[in-house]
Structure 1
Amino acid sequence: MNKKIDPKASLITLFNWYRITRINEFEAQCDAENAWQQIQSAIHARRRMRLYRRCASVAAALLVLVGTGLWYLYGEGGWVNADKGFTQQGAQTAMLVATDGSEYRLSSADDKVVNDGGVAIAQNRGKELVYNAQSDASKMAGKHSLNVPRGGEYRLVLSDKTHIHVNAESHLTYPVTFNQAKREVYLQGEAYFDVEKDDRKPFIVHTELGNIEVLGTRFNVTAYGDDCVLVTLEEGSVKIVRGGKEYILSPGEQAIIERREIAVKPVQVKNHTSWASGIYEYTDTPLETIVQQLSRWYDVDIVFAKPYLRKRRFAGVIFRDQPLQQAVNILSKVSDVRFVSKGKIIEITDKDE
């Protein structure tokens, strides 16, 4: 006999989890207890939540928690307008190419030593590849490449103890050890950096449209195409260098690097960095942006039936460790769209069609 799940308890668990993880940011902005009362009232009324009046940050998170709660309360048949079978899930997986041409397929289930030229360079420990800065490894001068496919992600710790979380459909090249005056890596795709501070050796991320220089800081770089690169700073300071010009970012700012210009603006940082913590946070985000992220993470092709649907807005949270079906459920309700499976392609249509 299947154990009966208390839907209210499930909703409370989700709410408490999110409130705890962000409580330091929320408590200075709003009354969490009052927000919880609003959620309870909305559930009884079975209406969509809009909590922007008191606290935009809380609204972004709680709107989807309400949607998730309704999903538990009323089941998939209540309002889900998507075809069944969206079971895809992202995973910790990558391919490492060593200097000597050796290839290592990495996954969270592996515990293996990576060798290069007969020298033990790194060890894969579950979900993380950790480089050895000691012994013979410190003498290596070659470069490694980490290739993360669609539907994957991977973490690594470089020889200088810098932590990097590489997102789906990304390619990162880096030295086995940093023996030069600069610590230089090359990125195509997306990665979250937590750079180990070293005043003597600046850390430089090379992209197609410009370079990001830091000493020690936390930031996210999105560089999937050759038309735009986004650099979002969470902590510390970074310098964008291109064409002899320099742009300095402060925490809470984002640089939009394009072919002809660079613009800097304030942003909700978590909207751009939360993926590295296992969730997607959105604040009034276009559905087109969300679909791009979900397509890479779940390795699916999602298209829009009508161009205007791309501009539909969404505020909330999607958990990356859940199957695509749950993300579809939430978006279907909150954004008033319908997901239809057509072979290997998922089409988004208006709910009224």
Structure 2
Amino acid sequence: MEKTDYITYTATDLLNDDYFLESEHHPTPESQLFWHRLEAEHKVLASEMQLARALLHIVAHSSGKRISEPEVAELWEQIKSRTIAKEKRKSPYLLLRRWVAAVACIIILFVGGWMALMNMPEEEYAGIALVKRPDAQPTDEVQLILSDTKKLTIDGEDSKLLYQKGKVDINSQTIQINESKGTEEAYNQLIVPAGKRSSITFSDGTKVCVNANTRVVYPVEFTTKRREIYVEGEVYLEVSPDKSRPFIVKTTQLDVRVLGTKFNINAYTENQNVVLVSGAVEVDTRHHSTRKLKPNEMLAYNEKELQVRTVNVANYISWINGYCIFEKESVSNVATKLSQYYKRDITISPRLKDITCSGKLNLRDSLEEVLETLAETIPAEIEKTEDGTFFIK
């Protein structure tokens, strides 16, 4: 759309414009340059854009809550006064049409907020990412925290949860659960400690393999419109296809949307990645436009940069079978993976900074055994300090 199309736009027009909303929700260098030029060249339009963005800002940062009536009244007065000032010389019919559009816009904001403006279901911004980790003493066992705050300890290095209607099988032991509380606020949590793995098979057939030092938050029941989980750590998913209910995985940095596919997400730190094994996924990084991945592609992301490249997916999902496979991998990256899995500090000598290695480590072994195997591969020596950290030299 040419910039002249926007010169006479009011805040109301902008809030009903798909390109403006898309630019605010998924800004790109091209769209940012487009709007920046308009603002610089047209002061009246720049003022309208500021008002429109203020509206969106209030809604987007309202934690999913509806705007209060006083806020609606204040916003409406601002829009009305600006609209009257710009339209006072236009026909009554056009003025009425603008007022109706403004009222409709405010109603949308009040009822659905930012979610309705972006034509997204309200569940998109549900509080799943805000569910707090329960206060509990650190433990070496897998924990399942139910929505009623009941905590279950699960034995074994590779535990399995299977959900069925009204019950969950934990390592083949059946436990009755109350699914009648399946609201937006009712969530379960699976917390997997260092050196352990687990898996969840949901009632829809979707399977989630959960790596060590990982927390997964999921609703007691998936809604009729969507399936959504939140992850801190690393998971591998085999999503059961359901065109009517997309599956969304949220992390602190990413939203990954799928219908049916197999992929891995590593979200231990701010440097996160998604590796696609089969099917297709859409990754929303919040700071970049949505990216679609093809099989054997990895999207690596932090707030400074985003990269997509082809990888050997076997090296990224070997952990689900209890192994760490690496091929021409830097020693520092291997040490980082082991540190994440065993939750122990591992540092390396500067001389090993540019050294790469290939091999296969058994994650069922102790960290000391794994590091000794790694040292033979490099070669190098392993030193354990008094505070329990490991130094590869």
TM-score by length of 2: 0.58
Structure 1 pair 138–312 and aligned structure 2 pair: CA distance change class (3 A): farther
| Aligned-partner SS, 1:263 | strand
**How far did residue 130 of structure 1 move?**
8.8
Structure 1 pair 113–274 and aligned structure 2 pair: CA distance change class (3 A): closer
Please tell me the residue identity of whatever aligns with 1:335.
I
Deviations 1:270-301 (A, max 9, x none): 11111112211111111112112222333432
Q: 1:140 aligns with which of 177, 182, 187?
A: 182
Runs of 4+ in 1 over 4 A off after TM superposition: 109-115, 129-132
Q: Note if 1:326 corresponds to 2:374.
A: no
> Could you say which residue in structure 1 is the equivalent of 2:144?
96
Query: How far apart in 2 are the matches of 1:111 and 1:347?
Result: 28
**How far did residue 96 of structure 1 move?**
1.2
1:158-307 residue pairs with structure 2 within 5 A?
158-226=202-270, 228-243=271-286, 245-304=289-348, 306-307=349-350
| Aligned-partner SS, 1:245 | coil
Query: How far apart in 1 are the matches of 2:159 and 2:332?
Result: 38
Query: How far apart in 2 are the matches of 1:323 and 1:281?
Result: 16
Query: How far apart in 1 are the matches of 2:148 and 2:260?
Result: 31
Query: How far apart in 2 are the matches of 1:285 and 1:171?
Result: 27
> Could you say which residue in structure 2 is the equivalent of 1:106?
154
**How far did residue 348 of structure 1 move?**
2.7
Q: Note if 1:337 corresponds to 2:383.
A: no
**How far did residue 199 of structure 1 move?**
1.0
Q: Note if 1:123 corresponds to 2:165.
A: no
Structure 1 pair 263–349 and aligned structure 2 pair: CA distance change class (3 A): closer
Contact 2:274 2:299 survives alignment (8 Å): yes
Bigger helix fraction = 2
Count residues with an aligned counterpart.
251
> Could you say which residue in structure 1 is the equivalent of 2:41?
none
Structure 1 pair 113–276 and aligned structure 2 pair: CA distance change class (3 A): closer
**How far did residue 159 of structure 1 move?**
2.4
1:17-96 residue pairs with structure 2 within 5 A?
93-96=141-144
Deviations 1:141-195 (A, max 9, x none): 3211111122222111122221111111111101122124111111111111111
| Aligned-partner SS, 2:290 | strand
Deviations 1:56-87 (A, max 9, x none): xxxxxxxxxxxxxxxxxxxxxxxxxxxxxxxx
Larger radius of gyration: 2
> Could you say which residue in structure 2 is the equivalent of 1:313?
356
Larger mean Cα displacement after TM superposition, 338-347 or 284-293: 338-347
Bigger strand fraction = 1
**How far did residue 343 of structure 1 move?**
2.8
| Aligned-partner SS, 1:240 | strand
Please tell me the residue identity of whatever aligns with 1:202.
P
| Aligned-partner SS, 2:242 | coil
Structure 1 pair 112–347 and aligned structure 2 pair: CA distance change class (3 A): closer
Query: How far apart in 1 are the matches of 2:239 and 2:140?
Result: 21
Query: How far apart in 2 are the matches of 1:318 and 1:230?
Result: 22
RMSD over aligned CA atoms reads 3.1
**How far did residue 223 of structure 1 move?**
0.6
Deviations 1:16-47 (A, max 9, x none): xxxxxxxxxxxxxxxxxxxxxxxxxxxxxxxx
Contact 1:98 1:143 survives alignment (8 Å): yes
Gap regions ≥5 residues in structure 2:
1-138
Gap regions ≥5 residues in structure 1:
1-90
